[in-house]
Amino acid sequence: MSPSSGTQAVQGIRRDHDDQSTETGSRVYYPPRAGVLVTDRWFFTQGRRYDLDDLDELHTRRGSMPVGRRAALEIIAIEAILAIVIVGAVVLVAGPSQIALVVVLAQVMMAATLGGLACLRWRSPMQLWALHRGTPTMLFSTRDETEFGKLCRAAKRAIDFREQATDHDAN
């Protein structure tokens, strides 16, 4: 960042030839990280540039469940059901016992613990969406909740600033 100009160079982001993406005096709301940059005029992501005036209805959502988590949860559920069925069959043949109850409870608790760990390990991605010229567009996706929160706040601040500047210029 140049101390005199207040701008920050954009590195690793494709520019169009007519682009003046880092004009003197532009504000950077989210500095370049992982190919994303938010200024008071532009939202750069995944090698694309979006004019903030073209973005409407900024919102977040969760992406689909990762395949690893789905597979882990299905295996855990099947295994827990099998354990319950086997212990149930043993109880029918040999009669009720405290050992059978302990085995079933231990199995269900282990399945719940493993299910929770699978959910922590394979999180669904968080996504930032907007209408870009009327078309639903995913702007950003990540599993990092901290960075996602920072980017969302920066994008909202930049859009609010842009709207206030437009309202001020209209008056």
**pLDDT for the residue numbered 144:** 85
What is the arithmetic mean of pLDDT over 45-59? Answer: 85
Under the banding of pLDDT at 50, 70 and 90, the label for residue 94 is confident
**pLDDT for the residue numbered 170:** 66
- pTM score of the predicted model: 0.58
Q: Residue holding tokens 């992406």?
A: 63
Return the biggest CA–CA distance within the chain: 86
Under the banding of pLDDT at 50, 70 and 90, the label for residue 112 is confident
**pLDDT for the residue numbered 40:** 83
pLDDT tens digits along 121-149: 778 889 989 888 988 988 888 888 888 88
